[in-house]
Chain A
Amino acid sequence: MSKKTKLVDKKGIRTDGRELKDLRPVKLEIGILGNANGSAYIEQGKNKILAAVYGPREVHPRHLALPDRSLLRCRYHMAPFSVQERKSPAPSRREVELSKVIREALEPAIFLEEFPRTAIDLFIEVLQADGGTRCAGVIVASLALADAGIPMRDLVVACAAGKVDGQLVLDLNDIEDKEGEADVPVAYMPNFDSVGLLQMDGLLTVEELEQTIDLALDGCKRIYQLQKEALRGKYLAIREEVQEE
């Protein structure tokens, strides 16, 4: 791995001005699409991602329907303009993989067995990408599912941690992801202390990996609180408005 840029300076400040264990600023919005059953939007640093949920609804094509539970279908897609160099709108190998791992991270959270022979369609559209989009995708997707009124065991959160310039850091951005030593995204359900997604790209020792996972889980717990605030916010705003009248 060739070093081009200095990613962490002597004071432990990263390229975007954060300290090693800081998260990027997160902005969450709920229910922003009129035609979807549930939707959410996230801005995490320079990431901008939309999620939409349709269903549960009839399964088309019919033969995909499962007799004992609902079918969760997930499409993670990056807009052609979401990255520096135009990306082909056709689903790439990477997008197919991310669709699968995001789906598998969310599946255990949903009471799929309550709605056999139906489908829940989930669309995650990355409008602007700056590293860690699979984690941000999981965060918005679970908010969109909650907004759609789909019963869930817990909200699913995700956050990455990794190693950059020899230091363990939280919530990597694009340049840290590309030029750093390692990136470990983790998806997590806090109520059950269960991990639904764990990947590693790069090199870490066993001890470093353990520390990195702990760091990522800590980030998850912080974002979890933001998710809950965002969900409540949608309805609290109306309630306060009415009380003022």
Chain B
Amino acid sequence: MSRIARMFGLGSACGALLLLLSCGRALPKKGLPPGDQTGVAGSAGGAGTGGMGGNAGVDGGAPAGSGGTGSGGQPPGGSNSINLDGSPIYTRIQRLTNGQWERAVTDVLRLASPANFPRDFSTPASGGGTDFANNEKLLFVDLQAQLDFEAGSEKAAAVATGSADALARLYAGTDAPGFVRTVGRRAFRRPLTTDEQAKYQDVFALGERLYGAGFANGAALVIRALLQSPKFLYRSELGAAGAPLDGYELASKLSFLLLGTTPSDELLDAAAAGALDAVDGLERAARAMLEQPAAVEIMRDFHGQLYRLALYDDINRTDVPASIESELAETSHRFFDAVFTSGEGLRAILTSALDSSRIGYFMQVPFLLLNGREDGPDSIRRGAALADEVLCLDLVGHTVPLPPLPPLAAGQTNRDRVEKLTASCAGCHGDLINPLGFAFEGFDGLGQPRDLDNGVPVDTTGTFSFEGGTRRFADARELMRILADGTQAHTCYAKMLTGYALQRDVVEKDRPLLGDLATVSRERSLKDMVISLVRNPAFRLRAEGTP
């Protein structure tokens, strides 16, 4: 059992839950002759190792015995290609997310505990059709955000100046110029200009005039003004198109990406000294950040959004007690935490072994239960989740909802009824969603293993046309190995990481970057992917924007 598997199964109170629901016989392989069952997974890494560096076979490599069908066309209503149809705007002024705001305020003001103010903030309206909520198109200052930031800055200023201890943590001196210079540099993530220094000293004086003489009164108003300034609220990239970002811009970009907060004083010093200008210097800084606990939180957010772990908060099924929803979410989060901290990546997400019957995240109880129904597996949701989250397919949504699944007829399996229900929607369901979902027919709606469905042996076999070609699989385990050894899942993962890190849509122009990152993903770790991304011009240089 790998470290990750131990973490997933036993590392928390959730372990008992997982084991309780997942105990059972190993999943039988049904529906394929023995030759097919062994041949399909011929390129996979060793079963149950969860390790890296396995055979780097590509999708559609058609290993002996795989029985490829060669269909692979463009079905109506969906595509088997990675969706790169976004429309980035390459903003030069990226508003901080609420989470970044909270951490940055905590660090700028040296607050003893996280500010927690954004708990009351409105979340950005996600109306732009983006993969992640931190996308550049979603983050601007509308009226609600203005009111939130204003109230938040006022609360933060009150806390930071509310006691002698808090003030001493914030700034050791008692002079207004020094206070403005020190806190201003942290807030703007660069030294203040002469004009800015003078302006904020005036604000300090105004604070004392309005609220009475006293360092805290001046400091409080300066803090409110700094935290509402666009120079704090937006991370900027103002250099020429194609030119390297300057040291301070890089420090901010790196720190917000990997730690979700403003650069430390030390990182700003390094930027001032030019230590981030060379790629190797940038990599050193990034590697150090990746080992900090805050980086785990960032990657937790990344995986949480990528795999929609928030859905565990609202399963809303009569056979699933609400009390376990948070455990399902936390267990899943811990799994992804472990993938990151133990130096693994997508391969472990897909194939890390928990026991003899399950590998990877998608064969575990949380995913299977979330995408299950009270009367059995939800093959459509399971398949659609994989198509979307693992293969980045662009599935055309329904303009009208599917009719509900009818009850099973005597001798009818869930697979039979789903095929019947979706027969007229072959483009998406028949070719893309159903094959992926049916691979999990060996698990019921709670994620428990099963051999029979309505008295009939389950059929977990399928074929799928990846970007590189068609592969056949006997069950979910083989499907996971095909994904781990192929290209498309790693390219999708690279796309998602890039989109999250650069906070923009990823498009066809990014293909070379995705190719590089996918190679790293297949052969190395998530941390190495991050380093590779940070070293890439897409991160370091000012991207071409919209004129």
Q: Do A and B come from one complex?
A: no
- Interface residues, chain A, CB within 8 Å of chain B? none
